[in-house]
Structure 1
Amino acid sequence: MSNYHSPVLLHESIDALAIKEDGVYVDVTFGGGGHSREILNRLGKSGKLFAFDQDPDALANEIDDERFVLIPENFRYISRFLRFHRIKKVDGILADLGVSSHQFDEAERGFSTRFEGDLDMRMNQKSKKSAQEIINNYSEEQLAAILFAYGELRNSRKIARLIVHDRGNKKIETSFQLKEALRTVLPKAKEHKILAQIFQAIRIEVNEELDVLKEFLEQVPNLLNEEGRLSVISYHSLEDRLVKRFIRTGLFEGEPEKDVFGNSNEPLKKVGKLIVPKPEEIKVNNRARSAKLRIATLKN
């Protein structure tokens, strides 16, 4: 499991769920199963844990436990598949967003800037849209838009122009070919940072990550029991802003409407303060450095 993915903020995120021994819980990002195993450790014999993961590689980590059910689907469909298992309400939901260590470390998956590999980046390998399709088929305007919105790159237009020019000569199929196409906008001192932003933008577009997160969050209030908890770990500002805003307002933009008495009807309320990894954890697992944990429960 640790070779597949080292769970970030393991104890903090599971503590946040305030687990009841006979409760029903959901881990929507199963991965290597680290968080799921810790939830099962705290559940009693009558407890139940459902987990989601759309990546076929993660299914090999399935846990042999009668209290555990692994659902091989995207967590945007959480309500639908819980209903299939006759579950209407749960006591806690955990989401560890982003890419697993396994996905980053497998060169052929195309997630990492470190390896030469096909531009793929699909979390669900059955999905039709890959990074290669986006790089080679999106218009210059479309590329610039996703690089700006999802990579927060100020020179998104210049990067898009370089991609379109280079692919006019030869199809861009691998991560190193993409790097070569962009060499003029990758100064040595900032190469890794800029490439990470570019790869993040393409990955988010491939997997519709922000749309998935929004759809998931909108379902949470109707799924939680009265004292149920939501525990979400995010790794970049785009995710974290959505999570923070939804917990605060129940919306992703604008402000909630107020009644004549000045009261609004947000579905959730935050529990405690923002939690980040301790220096000791970051030293052991560098990928924890950008993690942020937010906790919420239903508003009374």
Structure 2
Amino acid sequence: MSVQNLTMIWGPTLLAKKSDELIYSQKEADVLSDLVVLYKNLFPCSADEIKREQAMLACLQKYYAAAETLKDAVKQSGDIKIWISLNPNPENKTEEKTQVNATISPTKTAYELCREYSAKMQLPTHQLTLYEVILNDSLERPLHHDTKVFDVILNWSYWPEEDRKHNYLVVRPVEMLCEIQRAVKNLATVTPGKELRFADSRTKTFKTLQCELRDGKIVVSKKDKNDKTTIVREIFLQSSTAYLGCERKRDFPWSWAITFVERTQAQIMRSRDAPFIGHVLAGSEWMDRTIWYSSIWYCLYRETSCRRAEIIIK
């Protein structure tokens, strides 16, 4: 505590006037400040006392110097600890993944977390991406490099306990996002439209419906016998999270699926009327997955899918 703070506290008490009321006075504070700063001139101090004081000051200086250089010397308020997986070789399903205990601050991005563990992954940061894996390994998504990791973890609290207890984050090579970036450059259009399989949160089986991506939303529609189009569902991308995969409870014989979990509701709940998580697009041609997921990413992030390599000057 500084001398000024000490004198503000001690002044009204030690130099109190005859009245019962304790009132702060700058004059009293100045007097006490002189007593503290000039104590060696006012009070006799032995050589041993001066030596002990110098030893204490040296110890305090070392402590504060260490606190400035060590990251964990002072824990920042709001940080959380979480185990994440490092998987430099996703094709190897049998190899045990390395687990690291990461510190997540409210502002830490997916890119910053990848940079923190790039040495362990033996890859440069721009060749890594962070994945969110949820719902008992059924759903996953690559996180955009500017995504706040703290927010992703907090969103798990909105999920039912059974669905979120095995959620985790994993650092992987960036192949998926590179594939998205290549597709966006080569696609004739980023507003695809095609008949796909669709199931909402109420239905287990899939129906063949017309699906279109336009105006920042996916429009699912059907035609009746009179060729009249009826909109079945509109999925707004800015208020939904798109995951690759489909929960195992559904009848799913298709090659790929994208599950959309709406963020408009405070709590993600299963109910008797809606026993499944999210709305699902599915198909049998793998190229369609690339087209649709790349178009969704372009709609959300434009051309910032992958972070460029950093130039480091030594």
TM-score, shorter chain, exceeding 0.5: no
Asked which structure has the greater CA Rg, the reply is 2
Q: Which has the higher strand share?
A: 2
Q: Which has the higher helix share?
A: 1
Q: TM-score, normalised by structure 2?
A: 0.20
Q: TM-score, normalised by structure 1?
A: 0.21
